[in-house]
């Protein structure tokens, strides 16, 4: 498949359109259906890699697929072991998501590096740009395996979790052509890592309200996910008397409403029941069991704990009142992360250098920085997205805002002094 030809110059106004055309092309590597669906270690993940490899080569980087399913582009200085700045974002998407969540944060730093290279500028430190394999955690009930591999924090148990087809994450990596036994060797050395900077769409309305193209992230929220299984008793929908039924779906429906009312009790907590599966899911059978997911988010772990405990009490009461059995297992937990002051200031300086007004803001979304915080300082640059919409096929950014992000990153990379990081 032909890939976009790079612009002959990186003149004002060219970069934004070049960026959007790259992202349009990447979006083609998706399952059929609305928006973008590209899951971890999927055929679509495999098919998008040659395009990203080409972006990396244009940026002067050497691409390599690592044991955790990340595609990592390294410059010669990084390969030579010099202190290295890591940039990048996730290649995977949600189901029927947008073109920009994740992929924007891979393309922007690569085009920034390509433009600097085009101007004959080489950086005195190492750079890596990573296309992390799995950040959304849609295929498996765990996530951040790619960034946790770089942070050296992958729990071997994570590799044993199974997708809806019963394939373990380890098996998926092996069929993808990687060797997960090599994951521990991927851990980056903190002493040799200057920091991790991710560019990402805001996925909220703040930048649009402030009429800013870009924003500086101060902190990322903490997230935990739970798998709930409610078990009742299947039966004939027509002949089983209503009283005394143990209908797992009616119980689960009451539980979903209970989760929502816990989430409505404080503004410091948000969350969702995003997935729900009914068994045997037949039109004339009383549902025997229901599994659903609960996601709780707050920057304060104490707030998440209070929410979790309130949910556990509520679900237990409902199960008992309906003669249902209940299990609630924590499948994923990531504490919130604070962005480093020196990176925030560096990004603010870069915005000033390219005349981009900006301000600091919190991220209600999770990102790979939740894992990368365990190995290095982190920072994020947000890019305005239309109506703050994300995890939706209509997710969009303007070419001008994309260009602004590239120019901010070009300024940030040129001003970065490895001796002054920290």
Judged by the rule CB under 6 A, the positions of this chain that interact with ligand HGY are 135-136, 365-366
Listed residue (329, 311, 151, 331) closest to 223, CA to CA: 331
Cis peptide upstream of residue 213 (ω within 30 degrees of 0): no
Hey, what are 256's tokens?
A: 């979903």
CB of 295 to ligand HGY, least distance (A): 8
Q: Which stretch binds Mn ion (CB under 5 A): 102-110, 233-241, 246-254, 344-352?
A: 102-110
403 is a site residue for Mn ion (CB under 5 A) = no
Count residues binding Mn ion (CB under 5 A).
Answer: 2
Strand partners, 330: 226
Q: Is 135 or 403 the residue whose CB approaches ligand HGY more closely?
A: 135
Residue number of the CB atom closest to Mn ion: 101
**Local structure of 342: helix, strand or coil:** helix
Partner whose binding site includes residue 195, from ligand HGY, Mn ion, none (CB under 5 to 8 Å by kind)? none
Q: What 8-state DSSP symbol labels residue 375?
A: T
Q: Is 224 or 377 the residue whose CB approaches ligand HGY more closely?
A: 224
Q: Are 408 and 356 in contact (CB under 8 A)?
A: yes
Residue number of the CB atom closest to ligand HGY: 365
Partner whose binding site includes residue 377, from Mn ion, ligand HGY, none (CB under 5 to 8 Å by kind)? none
Dihedral (Cα; 214, 400, 33, 161), 10-degree rounding: -30
Q: Is 102 or 146 the residue whose CB approaches Mn ion more closely?
A: 102
Distance (Å, whole) CA 195 – CA 416? 11
According to CB under 5 A, which one of 25, 44, 101, 224 is a site residue for Mn ion? 101
Strand partners, 236: 285
Dihedral (Cα; 41, 47, 53, 58), 10-degree rounding: -150
Hey, what are 96's tokens?
A: 């029927």
Partner whose binding site includes residue 403, from ligand HGY, Mn ion, none (CB under 5 to 8 Å by kind)? none
Hey, what are 81's tokens?
A: 């072991």
Q: Is 102 or 379 the residue whose CB approaches Mn ion more closely?
A: 102
Q: Are 350 and 411 in contact (CB under 8 A)?
A: yes
Q: Is 290 or 365 the residue whose CB approaches Mn ion more closely?
A: 365
CB of 365 to ligand HGY, least distance (A): 3
Q: Quote the radius of gyration of the chain (alpha carbons, Å).
A: 23
**Local structure of 84: helix, strand or coil:** strand
CB of 135 to ligand HGY, least distance (A): 5
CB of 365 to Mn ion, least distance (A): 6
Partner whose binding site includes residue 366, from ligand HGY, Mn ion, none (CB under 5 to 8 Å by kind)? ligand HGY
Q: Is 100 or 125 the residue whose CB approaches Mn ion more closely?
A: 100
Kindly list the residues in this chain that would bind Mn ion in the complex (CB under 5 A). 101-102
């Amino acid at each position: 498949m032909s890939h976009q030809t790079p612009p002959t110059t990186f003149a004002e106004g060219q970069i934004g359109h070049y960026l959007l055309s790259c992202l349009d092309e990447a979006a083609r590597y998706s399952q059929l259906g609305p928006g973008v669906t590209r899951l971890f270690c999927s055929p679509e993940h495999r098919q998008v890699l040659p395009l990203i490899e080409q972006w990396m080569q244009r940026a002067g980087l050497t691409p390599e697929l690592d044991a955790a399913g990340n595609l990592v582009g390294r410059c010669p200085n990084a390969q030579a072991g010099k202190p290295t700045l890591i940039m990048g974002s996730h290649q995977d998407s949600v189901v029927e998501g947008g073109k920009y969540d994740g992929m924007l944060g891979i393309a922007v730093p690569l085009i920034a590096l390509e433009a600097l290279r085009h101007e004959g500028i080489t950086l005195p430190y190492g750079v890596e740009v990573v296309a992390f394999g799995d950040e959304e955690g849609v295929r498996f009930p765990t996530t951040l395996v790619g960034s946790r591999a770089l942070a050296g924090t992958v729990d071997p148990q994570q590799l044993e979790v199974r997708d809806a087809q019963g394939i373990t994450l380890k098996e998926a990596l092996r069929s993808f052509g990687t060797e997960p036994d090599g994951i521990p060797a991927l851990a980056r050395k903190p002493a040799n890592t200057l920091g991790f900077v991710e560019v990402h769409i805001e996925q909220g309305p703040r930048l649009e309200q402030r009429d800013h193209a870009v924003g500086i992230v101060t902190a990322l929220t903490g997230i935990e996910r739970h798998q709930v299984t409610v078990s009742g008793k299947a039966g004939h929908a027509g002949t089983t008397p209503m009283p005394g039924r143990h209908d797992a779906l009616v119980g689960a429906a009451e539980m979903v409403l209970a989760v929502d009312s816990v989430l409505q009790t404080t503004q410091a907590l948000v969350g969702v029941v995003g997935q729900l599966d009914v068994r045997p899911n037949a039109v004339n059978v009383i549902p025997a069991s229901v599994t659903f997911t609960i996601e709780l988010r707050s920057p304060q772990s104490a707030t998440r704990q209070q929410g979790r405990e309130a949910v556990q009490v509520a679900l237990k009461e409902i199960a008992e009142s309906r003669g249902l059995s209940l299990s609630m297992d924590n499948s994923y937990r990531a504490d919130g992360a604070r962005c480093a002051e020196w990176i925030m200031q560096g990004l603010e300086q870069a915005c000033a250098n390219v005349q981009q007004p900006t301000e600091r803001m919190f991220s209600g979304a999770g990102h790979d920085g939740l894992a990368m915080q365990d190995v290095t300082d982190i920072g994020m640059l947000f890019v305005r997205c239309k109506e703050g919409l994300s995890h939706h096929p209509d997710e969009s950014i303007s070419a001008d805002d994309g260009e602004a992000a590239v120019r901010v990153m070009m300024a940030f990379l040129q001003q970065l002094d490895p001796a002054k990081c920290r």
